[in-house]
Structure 1
Amino acid sequence: MTIDSHQHFWKYEPVKHSWIDDDMANIRKDFMPLDLKLIYNQNNIDGCVAIQSDQTLEETNFLIDLAAKNDFIKGIVGWVDFRGNDIDTVLEHYSQFDKVKGFRHIVQGEADPNFLLRPDFLKGISKLEKNNFTYDILVFPHQLGAVLEFVKQFPNIKFVIDHIAKPYIKDGFYEGWAVLMTEIAKQQNVYCKLSGMITEADYKTWTYEALLPYMRLVLNVFGVERILFGSDWPVCLVAGNYEKVKKITTDFIAKLSLEEQRAIMGLNAVEFYNL
């Protein structure tokens, strides 16, 4: 079974999706399950995990509705306000939906590099364990110091780092990112998605070879048991297409055993998200 652990749906709205800048103009439109189903049929993908891209409860409910109507959406990662006083009630509400697997906050967009360590945020995150929810970590490399402190506080919560923490591939920066990713990977409850790499490289001139050092580091420190394939569709379309994105990962893991390849391409996602 091949599972895409990271993709998005949206009905495009200029204000809501203002993060889609002029360089990404080709994704300023709707992306819905019917579009993705066709791509999955062409690329032998069995199912996916849909990830929030807007920080509202309406977004979470939108994904729940799509998942209820489309069986290939095996799970969703929504958004809730972890700093809210009603976090217990909100998580209790979402625990009734089988396809709600976890949550995410767009931490990369927060000006405070230590946002994850704010007391009110930590208090909210601590509530995930009770409902067996996961948490997706979306950060830039300069926020990885906070990530290390963050994950150490919750050994019983399953975390996954989105897009290998968005290293500055376009600029060739590697060392600082690599040091912190190595330390974070020592926490056995932290996984990592091989996703979102071509959009951290140069959109037009990226090469497979430029991505290799980053993928090798992730494989070395997380191991085959804690890596998940993800496409980051439709964001990936600004720098390539679905087939190219999938091929990056399948080419990279081609020398591993078939069992290890199956783990990275789907079984690890099934296990992590309890699909």
Structure 2
Amino acid sequence: MIIDSHQHFWQYDSKKHEWIDDQMAIIRRDFLAEDLDKVFQENQIDGCVAVQADQTLAETDFLLELATENDFIKGIVGWVDLRAENIEGILQMYSSFSKLKGFRHVVQGELDPNFLLRPEFLRGIAALEKYNFTYDILIFPHQLGATLEFVKKFPKQKFVIDHIAKPYIKDGFYDGWATLMLAIGAQKNVYCKISGMTTEADYDSWSPEQIKPYFDLVLKAFGPDRLLFGSDWPVCLVAGNYTKTKDLVTQFIGHLTPEQQNAIMGQNAINFYNL
């Protein structure tokens, strides 16, 4: 079974989605379940995990509604304010939704490089395990140091790094990112999504050869049992299309055993998110 562990839906709003700049104009429109269903049929994808793109409870409810209406949406990564004083009650309420698997905060957008280590945020993360919720880590490379300290504080919590921590592939940034990713990968409760790689390279001129060292590093750091295929659709469309995005990953893992390939393309997502 092939599971896309990372994609988004939205009803485009120029203010809400102001992060979609002129270079990304191709995705300045609605992307909903009927759009993705067609793409999945063309690319032999069996299901997906839909991830929040907006930091509101309304976004979480929007994704849950889509998941209720569309069986191919196997899981949801929503948003709650993990810093809220009543976080326990919020998590208890959402725990009744079987397709809600975990949460994410757009940490990459926080000015404080140590945001993950703030006491009120740590309190919220500490409450997740009780309800078997996962946490997706969305960061830039300069936040990796704090991320390493962060994941060490919660050895039983299931974490996954989104988009291989968004290294600046376009600029050839590698060494500092690689050192910290190896250290984070040594924490056995942390997984990594091989997603969002083409959009960290040059949209128009990226090549598999340029991206391969980054993939090789995360394969070394996390191993084939803790890597998850993700498309980052529709964001991936700014640097190609869904088929190119999927083919890039299958090309990279082609030398692995069939069992390892199946794990990366679906089984690891099923295990991590309890789909």
TM over 0.5: yes
* Runs of 4+, deviation exceeding 4 Å: none
Matched residue, 1:192: 192
- Whole-Å separation in 2 of the counterparts to 1:156 and 1:256: 28
Paired with 2:123 and 2:257, the residues of 1 have a C-alpha distance of 41
Give the AA of the match of 2:104. R
CA deviation vs aligned residue, 1:89-119 (integer Å, no higher than 9, x gap): 1000110000000000000000000000000
Q: 5+ unaligned residues in a row in structure 1: which ranges?
A: none
Do structure 1's residue 109 and structure 2's residue 109 form an aligned pair? Answer: yes
**CA-to-partner distance for each residue in 1:183-203, whole Å, 9 max, x for gaps?**
000100000000000000000
2:27 aligned residue = 27
Alpha-carbon distance, 1:140 to partner: 0.2
The equivalent residue for 2:166 is 166
Residue ranges of structure 2 left out of the alignment (5+ in a row): none
Tell me the equivalent position of 2:120. Answer: 120
Aligned to 1:76: 76
| Residues in 2 aligned to 1:47 and 1:184: alpha-carbon distance in whole angstroms | 28
Pairwise mapping of residues 50-69 of structure 1 onto structure 2 (< 5 A)?
Answer: 50-69=50-69
Aligned amino acid, residue 101 of structure 2: K
Letter matched to residue 49 of structure 1: V
Deviations 1:18-45 (A, max 9, x none): 1101110110000000000000000000
Q: Provide the aligned length of Structure 1 versus Structure 2.
A: 275
2:271 counterpart of 1:241:
no
SS of residue matched to 1:66: helix
1:227 is displaced (CA, Å) by 0.1
Structure 2 match to 1:147 = 147
SS in 1 for 2:188: coil
Distance in 1 (alpha carbons) for counterparts of 2:219 and 2:185: 10
Report the Cα distance in structure 2 between the residues aligned to 1:68 and 1:55, rounded to whole angstroms: 21
Could you tell me the TM-score, scaled by structure 1's length?
Answer: 1.00
State how far apart, in whole Å, the 1-side matches of 2:220 and 2:139 are. 21
- What is aligned with 1:209? 209
The residue type equivalent to 1:110 in the other structure is E
- How much identity, in percent, do the aligned residues show? 68
Whole-angstrom distance in 2 between the partners of 1:90 and 1:30: 29
Offset of residue 131 of structure 1: 0.1
The amino acid across from 2:204 in the alignment is K
Q: Note the C-alpha offset of 1:221.
A: 1.2
